[in-house]
A and B are shown apart, each in its own frame.
Chain A
């Protein structure tokens, strides 16, 4: 059975306002909101892969380099994301330690792996578990932003702790790599077109 999709009937749904229209030319603007119309996001899979690759490369220095450098009368301390988590854990704030670990380490990793899986299986025009894959994609779009957590933590600490000789906190290079990972994975999931999951088949979930 072939499901009636907009694409099969020569219609295009606008990415922004969701208006369904029949575009007179290959590339043109939505008659309602003026956004560029594409039946599917252009070069979706290729762009997703490129952004994922870039994010995966940045993920390494993001975790190895210090995100925060504390200078105080006791010396200089360089904190990576993981040592920050360890510090929270040992100081008794284990719920926060878990939270930071999930948001900063687990979520970006999960996003990289899950989006790679979605891109690879869509590229193979796989027809299995389409509903679950759609749900996974929605989850990824929702959780990605929470990885920005540690960047904000660094920002607040840098802004507050400027005690001259007493103590001074600086952002380390890891913070920049880390922000890069979050932004790139967000762009990667935005480039992925979930409708491609459903294109190989018309029927119900098998």
Chain B
């Protein structure tokens, strides 16, 4: 049994009736003041466009070195997965796995996952995988830490600047762009709207 027009605040469980918002508006829980839901314009279209850009930048960021360093003519460059692999080789496998998951795999899952969900939705298709896929994307979101990773890159640049010549690579600029696009997409995309669309088209027995 469903109660589609009822919503419960996810922070305090207060039951409320969902009302239509003006474009750009947001609904706030009267009891705990959490933002309940927002009405963003063209949520799915805009998020899709941002995710296409994010996918491109993610590829660039992982193909071109983020930073390169020169000491006495010797040049080293590093990609994210190489850094993780090196930690593993040095015996710090747990740290390597953590870095690989949070700076590579979960961001990839966010981008590829959202593309695979928003593109069919935009085309009016609703293959069966959309529901579990969107659930996975939503639940893994806290573990995608591109912005923290980039701050870490900046700190290490400053540390290295004292002993070597460090040059920010193309990958770094791609990652900065990626952070902007991901944050933008996450504020644009309205998960409620995606779930509502998925519900309407779900091949379920009528309630």
A residues contacting B by CB (< 8 A) are 3-7, 9, 11, 13, 15-22, 24, 31-35, 87-88, 91, 93, 96, 99-100, 103, 130-131, 134-135, 137-138, 141, 145-146, 148-163, 166-167, 170-171, 175-176, 179-180, 183, 186, 190, 194-195, 197-199, 204-205
Contacts and interface: CB of A to CB of B under 8 A. Distances in A.
Given A31-B2, A156-B83, A160-B160, A145 B148 contact: yes
Most chain A CB inside 10 Å of its own CB: which residue of B12, B72, B103, B143: B12
A156 B152 contact: yes
B6 A152 contact: no
B78 A160 contact: yes
15 contacts: A5-B14, A6-B6, A13-B7, A18-B7, A20-B7, A20-B8, A22-B3, A31-B204, A135-B33, A146-B151, A152-B99, A152-B152, A153-B159, A155-B96, A198-B32
A16 B142 CA distance: 13
Contact of A32 (B151, B156, B198): B198
Contact of B12 (A146, A151, A186, A195): A195
A18 B155 contact: no
A5 B31 CA distance: 11
Given A11-B15, A163-B74, A167-B71, A152 B148 contact: yes
Nearest to B6: A20
B190 to A, nearest CB: 12
Contact of A171 (B90, B191, B198): B90
A151 B74 CA distance: 25
A138 B10 contact: no
B6 A3 contact: no
B149 A21 contact: no
Contact of A198 (B6, B13, B71, B95): B13
A92 B173 CA distance: 25
Given A5-B14, A131-B33, A160-B69, A33 B145 contact: no
Given A158-B90, A176-B95, A18 B192 contact: yes
A6 B202 CA distance: 24
Interface string B147-177: 0110111111011101100000000000000
Interface stretch (B39-47, B116-124, B132-140): B132-140
Nearest to B35: A138
Contacts of B4: 19
A178 B196 CA distance: 40
Interface string B8-37: 111111110000000000000001111000
Contacts of A186: 142-143
Nearest to B163: A167
A13 B90 contact: no
Contacts of A149: 148, 151-152, 155
Contacts of B139: 16
A24 B94 CA distance: 42
B98 interface: yes
A32 B4 CA distance: 10
A164 B4 CA distance: 64
